[in-house]
Copies of this chain bind each other. A is one copy, B any other.
């Protein structure tokens, strides 16, 4: 099955390649009706399909972007990607998905390959490594937007949840429901990953705002593998908390696992609130009060910011941080 090229079409239609190209790019302005019809027919007869690669080489645009997430298996990432893909589809762009798994080396390899493939821009959940590499890209005015995580020293548009507010609202909700012994359960704080640190801050701010003494023992963080024993310890403190804020869906999962194992009653024995909406929030008994991220809006915003950068040639050096509002979904768990 020999590939048919623009030269074949030109020859069969008895015109030049240039003319066929004009036709393909809908520049009919000065094209004779007959010529147009002849080309159109020839294309159909030969089953010609333009090779976009060749066009991209010439035009310096591939109409594809890269998206680097930590792990597509995380619900938030999936939703963000879906939103990105939707806005890309409208503009006839395609998206290449990369899982960096929080490994800077993987991230680096992807960035380099994506550039080598000449993608028009990149949206990334940055690992926090590769600062120099990103700085180079920014300096070269390469379109980049960050999402979910803020990296010091890299001047590029960033889309973020108002994490402090999310945690603040969570604590506030607990306080309003009569709790004052409120613990925070978080993934590890090492590497100072933005959402984790900001949510911790929001928790502390709220505690202070509501004049609750800060109890360091109530702040627990750790890897999934140690979560069960950490919760066990927390619950068996001399002065145990009466409510727990799970700062993301994975931690919430661990908490619910513990609760089930120990047959604790929510909210009577322990109040629970989680940041991140979860699929089973409504069907769980009791239904789970959560703070949702507007993940689709955030993904769409990231995509739109990227397109603005792609489409405007001039260098606009105003890197901004776009904060999105969390939404409290009150249910029955606290």
Contact check: which of B94, B117, B280 meets A280 at CB < 8 Å? Answer: B280
Q: A interface vs B, CB < 8 Å?
A: 1, 49-54, 56-57, 62, 64, 71-73, 78-79, 81-82, 85-86, 89, 92, 94-99, 106, 112-118, 140-141, 253, 256-257, 259-260, 278-280, 282-285, 287
Question: Complex: how many Å from CA A97 to CA B69?
Answer: 13
Residue contact B284 to A284, C-beta cutoff 8 Å = yes
Copies, count: 2
Q: Shortest CB–CB separation between residue A61 and chain B, in angstroms? A: 10
A51 touches B94 (CB 8 A): no
Cβ of A89: which chain B residues have Cβ within 8 Å of it? 98-99, 106
15 contacts between A and B (CB under 8 A): A49-B115, A49-B116, A52-B117, A53-B53, A53-B56, A53-B118, A72-B72, A72-B78, A78-B78, A82-B99, A85-B99, A94-B98, A95-B97, A257-B282, A260-B282
- A81: nearest chain-B partner, CB-CB: B72
A285 / chain B contacts, CB cutoff of 8 Å:
260, 285
Given A1-B140, A94-B113, the answer on whether A260 and B283 have CB atoms closer than 8 Å is yes
Q: How far is the CA of A332 from the CA of B51 in the complex (A)?
A: 56
**Distance, CA A303 to CA B89, complexed state (A):** 24
